[in-house]
Structure 1
Amino acid sequence: MTIAVSILPDQQLAALNEVYRKAVARKRLRVALGAAAFLAALAIASIGAEVNLRTLFTYFGHFVSYFDRLLTLDNGSRVWTNIPEWLWGWKKWSLLLGETILISYVGTLFGAVLGFAFNFLAAENTSPGPWVRFIVKRLMEFCRTVPDIVFALIFVIAFGLGPMAGVLAITIHSIGALGKQYAEMVENIDMKPVEGLRSTGAGWIACMRFAVLPQVVAGFASYTLLRFEINVRSASVMGFVGAGGIGVELITAIRKFYYSDVSAILLLIILTVFVIDIGTGWVRGRLFGKERRT
Structure 2
Amino acid sequence: MGSQADHARHWREVQRRKRGHTLMFCAGLAAATLWSAWMSDVNLSKLFSNIGNFFGYFDRILTLDSGPAMGRRVWTAPGEWLWGLDKWLPLLADTLLMAYLGTLLGALGALALCFAPARNLTPNPWARVAARRFLEFCRTVPEIVFALIFVVAFGLGPMAGVLAIAVHTAGALGKQFSEVVENIDMKPVEGLMASGAARWPTIRFAVIPQILSNVVSYCLMRFEINVRGASVMGFVGAGGIGQDLIEAIRKFYYADVSALLLLIVLCVCVIDFLSEKLRHALLEREAHA
TM range, normalised to the smaller chain? over 0.9
Q: Which residue of 1 aligns with 2:164?
A: 169
Deviation at 1:27, TM superposition (A): 1.2
- Offset from partner CA, 1:216-274 (integer Å, 9 cap, x none): 11101100111111111100001000000000000010001000110111011001000
The partner residue of 2:9 within 18, 24, 27 is 18
Distance 1:37 1:137 in 2: 31
Identity %: 56
Q: Tell me the SS of whatever aligns to 1:122.
A: coil
Query: How do residues 181-220 of structure 1 correspond to structure 2 at under 5 angstroms?
Result: 181-220=176-215
CA deviation vs aligned residue, 1:28-76 (integer Å, no higher than 9, x gap):
1111111111101110111011111111011111111111101111111
Partner amino acid, structure 1, of 2:112: A
What is the identity, as a one-letter code, of the residue corresponding to 1:71?
Answer: L
The farther-off stretch of 86-95 and 240-249 is: 86-95
Cα drift, residue 129 of structure 1: 3.4
* Superposition TM-score, scaled by structure 1 size: 0.92
Q: Aligned residues, how many?
A: 283
Q: TM-score, normalised on structure 2?
A: 0.94
SS state at 2:221 partner: helix
CA shift in 2, pair 1:127/1:291, >3 Å: closer
CA contact (8 A) 1:121 1:128 kept: no
Instruction: Compute the RMSD of aligned alpha carbons.
Output: 1.6
Structure-1 residue corresponding to 2:55: 64
Deviating beyond 4 angstroms after TM superposition, the runs of 4 or more aligned structure 1 residues are: none
Answer whether contact 1:156 1:165 (CA < 8 A) is retained: yes
2:36 paired with 1:45 = yes
Question: Separation in 1 of the partners of 2:273 and 2:196?
Answer: 45
Match of 2:281 in 1: 286
The verdict on how the C-alpha distance between 1:69 and 1:291 changes in structure 2, with shifts beyond 3 A counting, is farther
- Correspondence 1:33 to 2:28: no
Report what 2:130 is aligned to: 135
Matches within 5 A, 1:146-157: 146-157=141-152
Matched, 1:86 2:77: no
Structure 1 pair 200–25 and aligned structure 2 pair: CA distance change class (3 A): same
Partner of 2:242: 247
Can you give the 5+ residue segments of structure 2 that lack an aligned partner in the other structure?
none
**Amino acid in the other structure paired with 1:64:** F
Question: Which among 110, 118, 121 is matched to residue 116 of structure 2?
Answer: 121
- Aligned-partner SS, 1:88: coil
Conserved? CA contact 2:94–2:239, under 8 Å = yes
The one-letter amino acid of 1:91's match is: D
